[in-house]
Amino acid sequence: MPRNDKTRPAELVGLSAVAAFFVGGIVLMVTRDVTLASIFGGGTFVVTIITLAMLVLAISPQVSKPDTNPHD
């Protein structure tokens, strides 16, 4: 198994965590409410990781079927 396939889940989780910390930090600076910031950060994490996972599934390479046409 190539190394790129093993690190892809960590990259997705890391990117989602960065987005969640960014949104949570912005909400914390604006409202000064830790509870609200953690809710927005958690929601952002979940939405981002689901969106990235769906995009990876959509653009994953298609495995070509072997050409087994009996009429050729």
Q: Which of 16, 13, 37, 11 is nearest to 26 (CA)?
A: 37
In this predicted structure, what is the pLDDT of residue 67?
Answer: 65
pLDDT per position as a tens digit, 4-14: 666 688 999 99
Residue 63: pLDDT over 60: yes
Tell me the C-alpha distance between 17 and 45, whole Å.
Answer: 6
Whole-model pTM above 0.95? no
Distance between CA atoms of 8 and 63, rounded to whole angstroms? 19
Give per-residue burial for 14-36: e unless 16+ CB within 10 Å, then b. Answer: eebeebbeebbeebbeeeeeeee
**Domains in the chain: boundaries:** 10-58
